[in-house]
Amino acid sequence: MIKKNIEQALRQGSMKQKILLYMNDLAIFNTTYDPEKHLLTDKERTVIYRGLKTPQDIKYYNELRTWVKTYNFYNHETRVLIERVKAHKQALLQEVLSIEHNSSYRDIINELLDLYPEKDSREKALALALDNSDLFKIYQEKGFSPYVVEDEDHDKSKRAEKRIRTTIDKLEEEAKGLKVILALLNQITAKSLPLKPYKDDREEREEQAREELQQVKLMVDFINEELDYSLKITPYDEIDLPEAYSVNSINKESALLYE
């Protein structure tokens, strides 16, 4: 909102408009934490606050103030959940890097084995390779020379699979909780606290959640392809919400837009 419109609202606006201006100013700080982006000066905020005289104005101010506190509480929860998603994603990334390392090592071994086409020399090379790594086993199709592949029955492989599945289960749980809270914030900003800074902040948090889960999906797809697993992670937009968290009528405009 340009300075001229702010000054006009302060001089000629209704008390409700001034309260909304006050709350928009507060919303900008709550979502950016940047005092340089304030719409109002300390003096202008004080004038508005001291202008609260009628029971209706005081009630309206207190209702918005309550919803601001509610928004801030749940918004903090979304930040915590997103950090948890990031932590689980990092753990999954470590598994991906380990899988990539083992796959590269396997491919190098098999390429070197091709240098030993004779049966005796190839068997010695295979034995040497298996002595240096307990993650592989010999695999041979009829009519072809033997190669090494990952031993999915090895204890290390089983433990890795258990870790990966546990991590994905935790990711699914955190993502569902995150979407529920973001849906609740959507309800709040659509009906009870329709202020643009909060709407933009919620949308930014939702996009962040969407991107984090998309990165997780890429890693899960890689793991499935490399290890022949059938793991699944639900994309953010496909997570089902309880009916109570749907918004049937969304107010697409802020109570007080600032541009």
DSSP H helices in the chain: 3-12, 15-32, 42-50, 55-113, 119-131, 155-187, 196-227
Is it the case that residue 93 has pLDDT exceeding 90? Answer: yes
Please report the pLDDT score of residue 247 as a whole number. Answer: 52
For the chain, give every domain's residue range: 3-94+156-245
pTM of the model: 0.79
The per-residue pLDDT for range 149-188, each reduced to its tens digit, is 777 777 777 888 899 999 999 999 999 999 999 999 999 9
The per-residue pLDDT for range 34-78, each reduced to its tens digit, is 888 888 999 999 999 999 999 999 999 999 999 999 999 999 999
Confidence of residue 2 (pLDDT cuts 50, 70, 90): low
DSSP state of 35: G
Share of the chain above pLDDT 70, in %: 91
Q: How far apart are CA 222 and CA 227, in angstroms?
A: 8
Confidence of residue 258 (pLDDT cuts 50, 70, 90): very low
Please report the pLDDT score of residue 173 as a whole number. Answer: 96
Confidence of residue 216 (pLDDT cuts 50, 70, 90): very high
Phi and psi at residue 147, to the nearest 5°: -135, 175
CA-nearest of 53, 104, 85, 98 to 223 is 98
